[in-house]
Amino acid sequence: MKKIAIVTGANRGLGLATSEALAQRGYKVIMAMRNPDKAQKQINALKMKDLDVVAMKLDQSSEKSITDFVNQIRQEYGFVDVLINNAGILIDSEDGGNSSVFKTKASTVLKTFTTNTLGPFLLTQKIFPLMKQEGYGRIVNVSSGMAQLSQAQVASASYRLSKTALNMVTNLFASEVGDADICVNSVSPGWVRTDMGGPNADRSVEQGIKGILWAATLPKGGPNGGFFRDGEPLTW
Ligand SMILES: NC(=O)c1ccc[n+]([C@@H]2O[C@H](COP(=O)([O-])OP(=O)(O)OC[C@H]3O[C@@H](n4cnc5c(N)ncnc54)[C@H](OP(=O)(O)O)[C@@H]3O)[C@@H](O)[C@H]2O)c1
């Protein structure tokens, strides 16, 4: 039977490229996104390549949307092999918090947390049991070098806080795998030329997804509860 992979934020950037790459590797890919209707062009382009992809609606800032999404997954498929928690926002510039931590507004922190941390937490909480019942799963939380406590921090506090907390989400669920062949890891894609990373980033999308694919396809006994870039460990 085909392995099923869920990729969030699959309509553009790293999520779209990860979806294509996993489908090329033989997975059926559930491309989760806020507006499937607006992504018909991207989805059709993958289908034209004979890739097994299906778009499903998910707004990961809404608990109801997450619940509806998982109910649909449960009804239509009943199991999940891979979950890529990729969707994320970087909105610190909206209040000047990208330049100074003193400008960061509470509303920006909350909004960022809701999408970047609580969304992946709730989705993992609901998908993890579907993996546990099959005894197999790979969960990749797309984090950031900006989450690292070991680096000097200047600004973009909301984003940094949310991704550092996402790394704890990784650790919390990694501690729950028991004897199952489940690996839960955080991955930093590096600084990548997407809408979020901008045109000056030093990495292509292909380079950025390399480590995500590595963590999504780890062999049995692969690392669990780690933080990686390009398959190499990062300090928290
Ligand atoms: N690019 C970089 O340099 C870089 C570096 C480190 C980490 N990352 C991380 O990599 C991941 C992907 O980033 P990217 O560079 O591909 O960014 P991007 O091009 O801005 O794409 C972000 C994706 O997240 C989706 N999204 C945002 N809020 C959502 C929500 N509430 N529900 C569902 N989907 C939502 C967006 O959907 P819409 O189209 O609907 O907005 C879009 O598909 C993010 O977690 C980001 O933090 C990126």
Contacts of 168 (CB under 8 A, 6+ apart): none
Q: How far is the CA of 120 from the centre of ligand 1 (A)?
A: 12
Q: Residue 152: what pLDDT?
A: 73
The residue whose C-alpha atom lies closest to atom 40 belonging to ligand 1 is 34
The residue whose C-alpha atom lies closest to atom 47 belonging to ligand 1 is 88
Q: How far is the CA of 178 from the centre of ligand 1 (A)?
A: 31
Q: How far is the CA of 21 from the centre of ligand 1 (A)?
A: 17
pTM of the model: 0.98
Contact in structure between 192 and 142 (CB atoms under 8 Å) = no
Q: Which atom of ligand 1 is nearest to the CA of 163?
A: 47
Q: Residue 151: what pLDDT?
A: 80
Does residue 139 sit in helix, strand or coil?
Answer: strand
Q: Residue 5: what pLDDT?
A: 98
**Which domains are assigned to the chain?**
4-233 (3.40.50.720)
Q: How far is the CA of 220 from the centre of ligand 1 (A)?
A: 29
Ligand 1 environment, Cβ below 6 A:
8-9, 11-15, 33-35, 58-61, 86-89, 115, 142, 144, 188-189, 191-192, 194-197, 201
Q: Residue 113: what pLDDT?
A: 98
Q: Which atom of ligand 1 is nearest to the CA of 193?
A: 1
Q: How far is the CA of 115 from the centre of ligand 1 (A)?
A: 10
Cα 28 to Cα 50: distance, rounded to the nearest angstrom? 11
Q: Which two tokens stand for residue 39?
A: 């992504």
Q: Residue 107: what pLDDT?
A: 98
Q: How far is the CA of 89 from the centre of ligand 1 (A)?
A: 6
> Helices marked H in the chain — which ranges?
13-24, 40-48, 63-76, 106-113, 119-134, 157-174, 205-216
Q: Residue 191: what pLDDT?
A: 98
The residue whose C-alpha atom lies closest to atom 7 belonging to ligand 1 is 144
* Low-confidence spans in the chain with pLDDT less than 50: none
Q: What is the pLDDT of residues 15-46, one digit of tens each?
A: 999 999 999 999 999 999 999 999 999 999 99
Q: Residue 226: what pLDDT?
A: 98
Cα 36 to Cα 14: distance, rounded to the nearest angstrom? 17
Among 45, 122, 58, smallest CA distance to 87 is for: 58
